[in-house]
Amino acid sequence: ENTCPIASGDYSTPVSQRRIIHRMREFVKSHAQKRSVADVNNLIHECAGLCVGELKQNNIKLTFELKNNLPPVHVDQIQIERVLINLIRNSVDALKNLPEKQQRQLTISSRLTLNNDIQVKVKDNGAGIDEDQKQKY
């Protein structure tokens, strides 16, 4: 586990994640020619690096829980980076609303599933979506 003391937060919104995954799958189907081989953990580090300023500014502790030796993936790197950056920024927005005394934590993890898929999670300790909002989706 790598810890970067610039950010803290927890992000878990299953409804939003399902929508993002659906859009990613649809996009990948229609834009297969833009794919290239990439290392997921490198993409995660690059995206987190682009958001360091926001994380520091909002006293967010960033932690990485990245599994080593994941197989390379064939993806549209730009689209994956956009998704990761959007998830990180959503976490920052959720964490901004926490009281200043409360630690703000953001954890980004990667792992290989039993189906040999690579799973990436962006989790923060923000309030999340209230039940009324969840039911709209």
**What does the pLDDT look like over 30-58, one tens digit per residue?**
655 688 999 999 999 999 999 999 999 99
**What is the band of 9 on the pLDDT scale with cuts at 50, 70, 90?**
very low
Give the chain's domain count: 1
> At residue 17, does pLDDT exceed 90?
no
Q: Please report, for the domain that includes residue 108, its CATH number.
A: 3.30.565.10
Token look-up 């995660």 returns 44
User: Is 12 inside any structural domain?
Assistant: yes
pLDDT at 8: 37
Q: What is the mean pLDDT of the chain?
A: 84
**What is the band of 11 on the pLDDT scale with cuts at 50, 70, 90?**
very low
pLDDT at 86: 96
Radius of gyration of the chain (CA): 15
User: Is 133 inside any structural domain?
Assistant: no
> At residue 73, does pLDDT exceed 70?
yes
User: Is 14 inside any structural domain?
Assistant: yes
CA nearest neighbour of 48 among 19, 13, 5, 96:
5
User: Is 132 inside any structural domain?
Assistant: no
pTM equals 0.72
Concatenated DSSP letters of 46-88:
HHHHHTHHHHHHTTEEEEEEE-SSPPPEEE-HHHHHHHHHHHH
User: Is 87 inside any structural domain?
Assistant: yes
- d(CA 59, CA 65) in angstroms, rounded, equals 19
> At residue 4, does pLDDT exceed 60?
no
User: Is 131 inside any structural domain?
Assistant: no
User: Is 41 inside any structural domain?
Assistant: yes
Q: Pick the residue with more confidence: 128 or 103?
A: 103
> At residue 26, does pLDDT exceed 90?
no
pLDDT at 35: 86
Instruction: Provide the domain limits for residue 94.
Output: 2-126
User: Is 134 inside any structural domain?
Assistant: no
pLDDT at 7: 41
